[in-house]
């Protein structure tokens, strides 16, 4: 049996914290897509840690963690992450497994990412520049190198061939960067990678499922950044939605039970692209400040705005969301009035759907206003002691989305979560 936790907005919904919270109920925690563009923040013993590729179950000693075939893996960053978790007392060698089909991010992928973004000028995606797009291009273009290839004697020859191809592309971009240092680190990190438990991920996970073990699939990014259904081209390069679990881990769709969608109580986006409910005023500044909305991976300020129920309903539809976790509700404590986007006005017409090419349209959000609860909710522990005004906000979401909000996160701490 497999449950999924994924983001319903433009990423950074608090997936890391929620996966860490739920991990105790599972045997295996598996990342199914994305790479080090992700930054998942956890607080363990009051100490903050940001994970990029390691699944957020790593702090649960007895749990198995798997980096699935759908991930693109940067071994240099993995090594740094491993050092960071080891410093917190985790024996990652014991319970971290990597699929042999996982594609590698090469130093030239990072250079290509940079070159591509530079060439776009004002139309840039706002990529994290971790080489994600170029690595997935080599996967679908059937050129990439995989973790399992490391054990092959032809690895270096294949690497040199691919690097030469990349160099030609970089020359076309007229992009020059000395990647000598990166390459040195990369080859060092490959030796480190070889010491891992490199497994056939699909048999590994299906055998566990057959034995009755419980798997939690951890998504990265968010549904509105999905390569097919997000705000293309301002998206990432992987399938961030529940369908990505099947191809990213080798799991059949019938095995998936709960699809747990995470949304903030408001909305953020980092990088370029459409964001209908963005607030460019002092309320936006308030959310950024109170919510400490700065990228976990790049440190960039996140764009902030009201919750967008049109986009959320779309995300619930394409993912088959069965329950919702609303995070960062405590950030709204300081606001007297809250707004919720129920529909869009486009060319004078009211619409309830997410249109094709949002970026070419002038979308005006139509809001419903709510009175803020305007009290400290950090000590709320159940539905009964939730402020009435907060119940109204949540009830509206339940009715609008037709998917229940089952949990509310009211602080970054590991156990700060209200079960409804
Ligand atoms: P992820 O990428 O979805 O895992 O999210 P990030 O870690 O990038 O960003 C979420 C940020 O919000 C992190 O700094 C978390 O520590 C923090 N966070 C998560 N849930 C809550 C919450 O309920 N309240 C507050 N105040 N912070 C939260
Ligand atoms: P987590 O897992 C928020 C955004 C980038 C950029 C676009 C493409 O922490 O939620 P890429 O590096 O994939 O080429 O960037 O996607 N992006 C994220 N935004 N959270 C993330 O991950 C993101 N990963 C990528 O800012 O707009
Ligand atoms: Mg993040």
- pLDDT tens, residue by residue, 28-70: 999 999 999 999 999 999 999 999 999 999 999 999 999 999 9
Ligand 2 centroid distance, CA of 246 (Å): 21
Residue 109 Cβ inside 6 Å of ligand 1? The answer reads no
| Closest Cα to atom 27 of ligand 2 | 271
Rounded to 5°, angle at Cα 113 from 110 and 115: 110
- Which residues have CB less than 5 Å away from ligand 3 (the ion)? 12, 39, 296
Q: Measured in angstroms, how far is the CA atom of residue 100 from the centroid of ligand 1? A: 31
Which residue among the candidates 12, 74, 138, 308 is catalytic per the annotation? 12
Question: What is the per-residue pLDDT for 202?
Answer: 98
Q: 88-145, pLDDT tens digit by residue?
A: 999 999 999 999 999 999 999 999 999 999 999 999 999 999 999 999 999 999 999 9
The pick from 12, 13, 14, 18 for probing ligand 1's pocket by mutation, whose C-beta has the most ligand atoms within 8 angstroms, reads 14
Residue 221 Cα, ligand 2 centroid: separation in angstroms?
6
Q: What is the pLDDT of residue 298?
A: 83
pLDDT of residue 376: 96
What are the Cα distances from residue 374, in Å, to 370, 371, 388? 11, 8, 11
271 in contact with ligand 2, CB cutoff 6 A: yes
Give the per-residue pLDDT at 295.
87
Torsion-angle region of 248 (φ positive above 0: left; ψ -120 to 50: alpha; else: beta): alpha
- Identify whether 396 is a catalytic site residue: no
Q: Is 40 labeled as catalytic in the residue annotation?
A: yes
Please tell me the number of the ligand nearest to residue 412's CA: 1
> Which stretches of the chain score pLDDT less than 70?
none
- Interatomic CA distance for residues 41 and 324, integer angstroms: 19
Q: 272 near 125, Cβ under 8 Å?
A: yes
* pTM confidence score: 0.97
**Strands, E, within 45-192: which ranges?**
47-51, 64-67, 72-73, 96-99, 103-104
What is the C-alpha separation between 124 and 43, in angstroms, rounded? 33
Report CA Rg, the chain.
Answer: 21
For residue 220 and ligand 2, the question of a CB distance below 6 A is answered with yes
Q: Where are the domains of the chain?
A: 263-419
Q: How far is the CA of 38 from the centre of ligand 3 (A)?
A: 5
pLDDT of residue 396: 98
Say how many Å lie between the CA of residue 89 and the centre of ligand 2. 29
Ligand 1: does its nearest atom lie under 6 Å from the Cβ of 57? Answer: no
Please choose from 10, 21, 41 the residue to mutate so as to test ligand 1's pocket, defined by most ligand atoms within 8 A of CB.
41
Residues 6+ apart with CB under 8 A from 136: 72, 103, 237, 238
Catalytic entry in 3, 20, 40, 109: 40
Helices (H) and strands (E) in the chain, counts: 12, 20
Q: CA-CA distance, 6 to 13, in Å (whole number)?
A: 9
Question: Using an 8 Å Cβ cutoff, are 370 and 393 in contact?
Answer: yes
Task: Tell me what pLDDT residue 296 has.
Answer: 80
Per the CB < 8 A criterion, the answer to whether 367 and 344 are in contact is no
Topology at the third CATH level for domain 263-419: Adenylosuccinate Synthetase; Chain A, domain 3 (3.90.170)
């Amino acid at each position: 049996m497999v449950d999924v936790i994924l983001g319903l907005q433009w990423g950074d919904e608090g997936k890391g914290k929620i996966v860490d919270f739920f991990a105790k109920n599972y045997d295996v925690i598996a990342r199914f897509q994305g790479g080090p563009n992700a930054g998942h923040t956890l607080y363990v013993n009051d100490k903050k840690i940001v994970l990029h590729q390691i699944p957020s179950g790593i702090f649960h000693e007895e749990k198995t963690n798997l980096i699935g075939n759908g991930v693109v893996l940067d071994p240099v960053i993995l090594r740094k992450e491993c050092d960071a978790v080891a410093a917190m007392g985790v024996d990652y060698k014991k319970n971290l497994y990597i699929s042999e089909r996982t594609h590698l991010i090469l130093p030239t992928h990072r250079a290509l990412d940079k070159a591509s973004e530079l060439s776009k000028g004002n139309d840039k995606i706002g990529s994290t520049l971790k080489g994600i797009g170029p690595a997935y291009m080599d996967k679908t273009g059937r050129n990439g190198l995989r973790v399992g290839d490391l054990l092959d004697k032809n690895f270096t020859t294949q690497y040199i061939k691919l690097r030469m191809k990349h160099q030609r592309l970089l020359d076309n971009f007229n992009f020059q960067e000395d990647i000598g240092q990166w390459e040195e680190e990369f080859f060092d990190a490959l030796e480190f990678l070889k010491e891992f438990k490199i497994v056939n991920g699909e048999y590994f996970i299906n055998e566990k499922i057959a034995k009755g073990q419980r798997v939690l699939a951890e998504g990265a990014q968010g549904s509105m950044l999905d390569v097919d259904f997000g705000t293309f081209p301002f998206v990432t390069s992987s399938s961030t939605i529940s369908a990505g679990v099947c191809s990213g881990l080798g799991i059949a769709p019938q095995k998936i039970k709960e699809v747990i969608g995470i949304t903030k109580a408001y909305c953020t986006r980092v990088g370029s692209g459409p964001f209908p409910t963005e607030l460019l005023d002092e309320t936006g500044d308030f959310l950024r400040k109170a919510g400490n909305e700065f990228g976990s991976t790049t440190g960039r300020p996140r764009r902030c705005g009201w919750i967008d129920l049109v986009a959320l309903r779309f995300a619930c539809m394409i993912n088959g969301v069965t329950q919702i976790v609303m995070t960062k509700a405590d950030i709204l404590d300081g606001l007297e009035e809250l707004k919720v986007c129920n529909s869009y006005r486009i060319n004078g017409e009211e619409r309830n759907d997410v249109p094709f090419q949002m970026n070419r349209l002038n979308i005006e959000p139509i809001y419903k206003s709510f009175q803020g609860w305007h009290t400290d909710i950090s000590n709320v522990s159940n539905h009964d002691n939730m402020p009435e005004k907060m119940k109204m906000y949540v009830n509206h979401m339940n009715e609008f989305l037709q998917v229940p909000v089952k949990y509310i996160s009211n602080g970054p701490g590991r156990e700060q979560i209200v079960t409804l």
